Chains A and B, each alone.
Chain A
Amino acid sequence: MASRFWTQGDSDSEEEESDYEDIDENVVGASESTTTAAGSRYLQGNASDSDDSDTQKRVVRSAKDKRFEEMSATVEQMKNAMKINDWVSLQESFDKINKQLEKVMRITEADKVPTLYIKALVMLEDFLSQALANKDAKKKMSSSNAKALNSMKQKLKKNNKQYEDLISKYKENPEIEDEDYEDEEVEEDEDSDLEFEEDPSNIAAGSGSEEQSDEDDTRSADEQGADWQKKMSKKDKLMDKEFKKDPSEITWDIVNKKLKEIVSARGKKGTGRVELVEQLNFLTRVAKTPAQKLEILFCVVSAQFDINPSLSGHMPINVWKKCVENMLVILDILNQYPNIVVDDVVEPDENETQKGADYKGTIRVWGNLVAFLERIDVEFFKSLQCIDPHTREFVERLRDEPLFLVLAQNIQDYLERSGNLKAAAKVSLKRVELIYYKPQEVYDAVRKWAEQRGEGNDGEFEAVESKGPEERRGPAPFVVVPELVPRKPTFPENSRVLMDALVSLIYKYGDERTKARAMLCDIYHHALMDEFSTSRDLLLMSHLQDTIQIMDVSTQILYNRAMAQLGLSAFRNGLTAEAHSCLSELYSAGRVRELLAQGVSQSRYHEKTPEQERLERRRQMPYHMHINLELLEAVHLTCAMLLEVPNMAANAVDSRRRVISKTFRRFFEISERQILTGPPENVRDHVMAASRALTRGDYHKAFDIVTAIQVWKLLKNWENVSQMLRDKMKEEALRTYLFTYGSSSYTSLSLDQLSKMFDIPESRTHSLVSKMMITEELHASWDQPSRCIVFHDVELTRLQALSFQLTDKLSILADSNERAVDSKIGGGGGGGLDGLPLRRRDGADNNSNSAALTSAAAAGGGGRWQEKTSYGQARQSGGGSTTTGRSGYYANAGGGRPVTPGQISRDRNGQTRGGAGSYGRPSYQSVSSTKMDSSARMVSLNRGIR
């Protein structure tokens, strides 16, 4: 390897110089003509390449060496091929070397092509022109060989174009080194001139620090020891040379200039990202003023962000930790010098940071703490996404969470103190997002862990620092910053307390998106804490169901998560209907995984583009935030069963009527169709088996089957829930029984028998049956002295049923006519419809104002559809507190609809559903008829009174 070869001979000083020049050149490089820059760089590139391996870890180096070896081996092959004039193998080798080149470039992270490669190219070119010139030889070649020659000709032409400059340079002057050195020498002279110029002022300024500088001198002399030299990276050595020898000579100007140099090298090709960070790190130690140190630290942090270039991968964890540490130091400085203001609006003065620690006025430094924090958060999140959750690494990574929390807490404190409450709200959201999904137990564990770590030693920070030996060897930093901000997070006992504090700050100062997200987290957390009604109220009050469709995807996912959690919470509280309405939409499309961002669901019907897939993968929730899908499914199906089984029994004759859960119906039908049913295996099988038992009224068996589902044990206080489930099953079994056998097989049934049969207390049985009577589900009444239910036979004949259908359809027709006329004429509708019953008018109003969908359902419905649906509607008919917005809620099946990420503009079929609720029910007893005969049957005690 040529490059290694000649670098070894170089003296240290030369190397340093060349590198210094390299940086210099990068600064100027933009303006300079590219040819010369590239030319000189090309050689230095080699130099720095081999040197890089010193600064980097050994593992990397061996890999790099291997690549180089491979490459030179290929060159050897090419040479051999040339000797025997074998163009076929030459072509192969050429392809191979190109591939190897890519690898080498990737590893060295440089854009300079190795000389080895250029050399090979030149050699090839020469050989090719030779071969072409020699026409006779060409004719003699075999056909395949000639073909290869031709294609090689073209390839080489194309390929060499890229490296034209380098090749010509190489050809001109294969011995560039000497020339380069001369250049550098000149540069050095200039540099030292510069230093001398600055010296006097510096000495004058810091004459008192001579002792210290002496000390430093001796130390630096010590450090120049032999084994030391090896370890030291070239850059550091350069810096040391420049700065260490006489620290008192270092002035703000030098540091500033150096900083500018380094910063301008950032992002350019050929600048090692890791080195950049190291250089900057060094600078932080020699910074003269706190403000300058701050400025440099900001650069360090952003350079650290740059280390991971790709969007999908995550930042190396140790870098992440260092980054957090740097941020903490930034906060230390900010706390120590309250007159320093961080700002990203105005570009501060050139020399703003020159003002020393004793400067009284405000010093502006460019930077954005919140943006940094958010980036750190994103990196943390990404790392959790990427790491396999079943490894130890994942757990280790999770333990870093308190680190982030403490940083966020400190930043928030700082921002609050400096009055930037909007930014504080943003930071506070980040904290909320780390806490909201943790149940109290997990929260306690995190709290304990954080405290332990705080006590044990100063924790990971220490470890982080000790990892990098370079941290300790530098000169004592000029600006010493004591650790002012606490390094361990403080957690209140109860996560609710923390949530409340954070969330209330956000509600006060956050922007719309922050508020919405905080609200969703709040809802989620409340639901997690079993406060179903609170979280439901929050959801309803926030009107989030209406606006969620237009929000960004991650917020929509959060919304779905909150809905799922709400459903679980409702179930734990025994509110099966509510739980079902929360969850049914999630399950309606069979894309739960996608909706909750917990894995990708395969869809047969529409293929995703790679782009979409990548986006989706980026949205995935880390494993520890997952909601157990199996549990969710179990809850959903169980709720659906409890609602749907009696419903099916009630409307056995007329299957077109109201379906509560389409998903459940579909599953049930599938399982019914099976000829042989084996013992249940998964959640769905269990619930289906239970449903079959329940249909027969066998609550005992149904309960046993459902409780056999393993995943229940993940449910919080399962004992109570199972008790609740048992009661519910009994009740629903009773209802199913009455529906199925009641009026068709019995004329009367005694209460005692019924309550014994289903093991329900008499009073409860009475209340249940009474309710069924009142809602007209059961055509029967009590015979009080004998405690019996007496069934009435009110079956309609076929003709009657049909005529009811006819009248229903007619009224639908009339409705639509009115609507049509209304929309044509407009306005006049109200007056024209004065004489009609209130119900109708409401319907008409509703049509003109689609937002008030509910009023149709509420006023026009009044039927069962509504009475049985969930909690949503009472509030719903209560309307929004300030707008009519709440109506969307009901339209969304009482539970709000989960939103589909990436498919924002889904039509609101709530509307059509609402319509179906009030009009489209061509059955023998439509809404209105129910209403009428119920009112006719009602013992009206009001007739006489006024």
Chain B
Amino acid sequence: MAAAAAAAASKYDLTSTMAPNLDRHLVFPLLEFLQERGLYPEEELFKAKIELLNKTNMVDYAMDIHKSLYHTDDVPQEMVERRVEVVARLKALEESAAPLVAFLQNPSAVQELRADKQYNLQMLNDRYQIGPDQIEALYQYAKFQFECGNYSGAADYLYQYRALCTNSERSLSALWGKLAAEILMQNWDVALEELNRLKEMIDSKNFSSPLNQVQSRVWLMHWSLFIFFNHDNGRTQIIDLFNQDKYLNAIQTNGPHLLRYLATAFVVNKRRRPQFKEFIKVIQQEQHSFKDPIIEFLACVYVNYDFDGAQNKMKECEEVIINDPFLGKRVEEGNYSTVPLRDEFLENARLFIFETYCRIHQRIDMEVLAEKLNLNYDEAERWIVNLIRTSKLDAKIDSNSRTVIMEMTYPNVYEQLIDHSKTLSQRTYKLVSQLLEYAEAQPAR
């Protein structure tokens, strides 16, 4: 991580900022991505990886990287020693967890387990001589498995462990472990479930200090990025999660860089307009504390109404998206790969600019408009005509003077008045029926 931070050549790369909030193992995908993009010298990335691995038990992997880094077949002595040590510890843990593992692998025995935790513990203790020690061993074993990179095994054991565990602290960390394992196995659906479970726990649990709670939330949001930008429904859910008051607060205090992802999600998601307005206010407030092209783009369009600036920012945004491990996910189609999110983002960003631009203009020169939208004249004309045809835009093109003329419709005063009073009768009606219901219910009581 330190190496990655040192090599922060790319201005908007957040990896070094994010890494402290992620599990060691979760940083690997990010490093892989960086390697792919070639933003940093490969050597440094290798070094960063080794540094990461040193604290984990994935010794073999570390050795491989070491070899490819120095192009030798020799492996430093300490790595070999560590390998021996790891293997020994694995054996020891395996042994101590063996009874329980054996029990769990026996399908008929597992069926004896019931929903009642107390009963299960009692039963295990009486019939299989599996006490708290073994259960604890299972946890350690699962953790070790995870450290070794055997995520699926770890996930399974942790799942079982949770069914048996009574300690809520432990259960929480088991849940974290499970989530990490699922993310690393790319089981997005399961991971999402785990995420929601974890979220509930964090929100409901009594933390010793509010600070811890905020920290947990920040972690949760970081981890969730993996899921949200890979899951089909993720873009809506990221808004739902991040835009909650508590989480938004956590972002503002502890991780303003997360705003980038929320902002992107808002741009590409068209169904969350009401929250978007609120979000603009957050941006307005945070734009001084965190600089990010995507945030700045939104600030240009919605806070400062600086359309030239927005247009410049759009280009930067593109760059950012391509180089972001979460946003820049590639889809291979035949020979060439595309970044679907980028295209979507650009399209929507263009719409944003245009929409706002039209709101304050009566007449717009098509050329200027085309330039603002990063399109050439014909494209722009086609684009606008399309908008008008699909009745998204109330305007006409004056091809003689090459301008778009907005239809200024002011709401009819009478319509407004009716609008105002329309709900009144409805509300009164509701009120009366409510009262009546209440009155009827009353004597019966």
Contacts and interface: CB of A to CB of B under 8 A. Distances in A.
Interface of A: 533, 537, 541, 763, 766-767, 770-771, 773-774, 781-786, 790, 792, 794, 796, 800, 803-804, 807-808, 810-811, 814, 817-818, 821, 824-825, 828, 832-833, 835-838, 840, 858, 862, 871, 873-875, 877-882, 928-929, 932-933, 936-946
B255 to A, nearest CB: 13
Nearest to A940: B392
B431 A874 contact: no
Interface string B424-445: 1011101101110110000000
B421 A785 contact: no
B289 interface: yes
A785 B391 contact: no
A804 B430 contact: no
A824 B285 CA distance: 41
A932 B410 CA distance: 11
Contact of A774 (B278, B282, B356, B409): B356
A811 B359 contact: no
B199 interface: no
Contacts of B289: 533
Nearest to A818: B431
B434 A828 contact: yes
B403 A785 contact: yes
Interface string B388-431: 00111111000001010010111101001101110110111011
A796 B413 contact: yes
B306 interface: yes
A807 B417 contact: yes
B427 A774 contact: no
B400 to A, nearest CB: 12
B417 A804 contact: yes
B387 to A, nearest CB: 7
Interface of B: 210, 213-214, 245-246, 248-250, 252-253, 270-271, 273-274, 277-278, 281-282, 284-285, 288-289, 304-306, 308, 351, 354-356, 358-365, 368, 387, 390-395, 401, 403, 406, 408-411, 413, 416-417, 419-421, 423-424, 426-428, 430-431, 433-435, 437-438
Nearest to A799: B413
Nearest to B245: A879
A610 to B, nearest CB: 45
Given A875-B249, A879-B249, A837 B359 contact: no
Given A871-B285, A942-B273, A946-B271, A832 B252 contact: no
Contact of B421 (A807, A880, A940, A946): A807
A774 B411 contact: no
A766 B406 CA distance: 19
A228 B309 CA distance: 89
Contacts of A825: 434-435, 438
B392 A944 contact: yes
A814 B420 CA distance: 12
A23 to B, nearest CB: 56
B254 to A, nearest CB: 10
A541 B363 contact: no
Nearest to B425: A814
30 contacts: A541-B253, A763-B306, A773-B360, A774-B305, A781-B408, A782-B363, A783-B362, A784-B364, A785-B364, A792-B408, A800-B413, A800-B417, A811-B424, A821-B434, A832-B433, A832-B434, A833-B427, A835-B430, A836-B427, A874-B284, A877-B245, A878-B282, A882-B213, A938-B359, A939-B355, A941-B387, A941-B392, A942-B273, A942-B392, A944-B391
B304 A784 contact: no
Looking at B273, B360, B401, B428, the one whose CB has the most chain A CB atoms below 10 A away is B360
A850 B28 CA distance: 48
Contacts of A794: 410
A836 B423 contact: yes
A848 to B, nearest CB: 14
Nearest to B217: A881
B411 A781 contact: no
Nearest to A767: B305
B305 A770 contact: yes
A818 B427 CA distance: 8
A794 B271 CA distance: 32
A537 B289 CA distance: 11
B23 to A, nearest CB: 24
Contacts of B363: 782-786
Contacts of A862: 277
A763 to B, nearest CB: 7
B411 A946 contact: no
B305 A771 contact: yes
A946 B273 CA distance: 13
Contacts of A838: 274
Nearest to A813: B424
A589 B270 CA distance: 48
A945 B270 contact: yes
Given A942-B273, A945-B270, 15 more contacts: A533-B289, A537-B252, A781-B408, A800-B417, A825-B434, A836-B426, A840-B427, A858-B278, A877-B278, A877-B281, A878-B245, A879-B249, A932-B419, A933-B416, A944-B392
A808 B306 CA distance: 36
Contacts of B417: 800, 803-804, 807
Contact of B359 (A800, A939, A946): A939
A560 B363 CA distance: 52
A943 B391 contact: yes
Contacts of B274: 838
Contacts of B364: 784-785
Contacts of B305: 766-767, 770-771, 774
A811 B392 contact: no
B352 to A, nearest CB: 9
B411 to A, nearest CB: 5
Given A800-B413, A939-B355, A817 B246 contact: no
B361 A933 contact: no
A945 B273 CA distance: 13
Given A781-B408, A940-B392, A814 B416 contact: no
B392 A828 contact: no
A790 B406 CA distance: 13
B360 A770 contact: yes
B362 A781 contact: yes
Nearest to B354: A941
B281 A785 contact: no
A831 to B, nearest CB: 9
A881 B306 contact: no
Contacts of A810: 421, 424
Nearest to B303: A771
A783 B351 contact: no
Contact of B401 (A767, A785, A824): A785
A469 B308 CA distance: 82
Contact of A937 (B409, B424, B434): B409
B411 A932 contact: yes
B426 A835 contact: yes
Nearest to B387: A941
A929 B418 CA distance: 11
Contact of A828 (B250, B390, B424, B438): B438
A590 to B, nearest CB: 31
Contacts of B250: 881
A790 B362 contact: yes
A632 to B, nearest CB: 24
A874 B306 CA distance: 22
A827 to B, nearest CB: 11
Contacts of B387: 941
A927 to B, nearest CB: 11
B201 to A, nearest CB: 15
Given A878-B249, A939-B359, A943-B391, A933 B430 contact: no
Contacts of B424: 807, 810-811, 814
A936 B356 CA distance: 14
B360 A882 contact: no
B392 A821 contact: no
Contacts of A873: 281
Contact of A837 (B421, B423, B433): B423
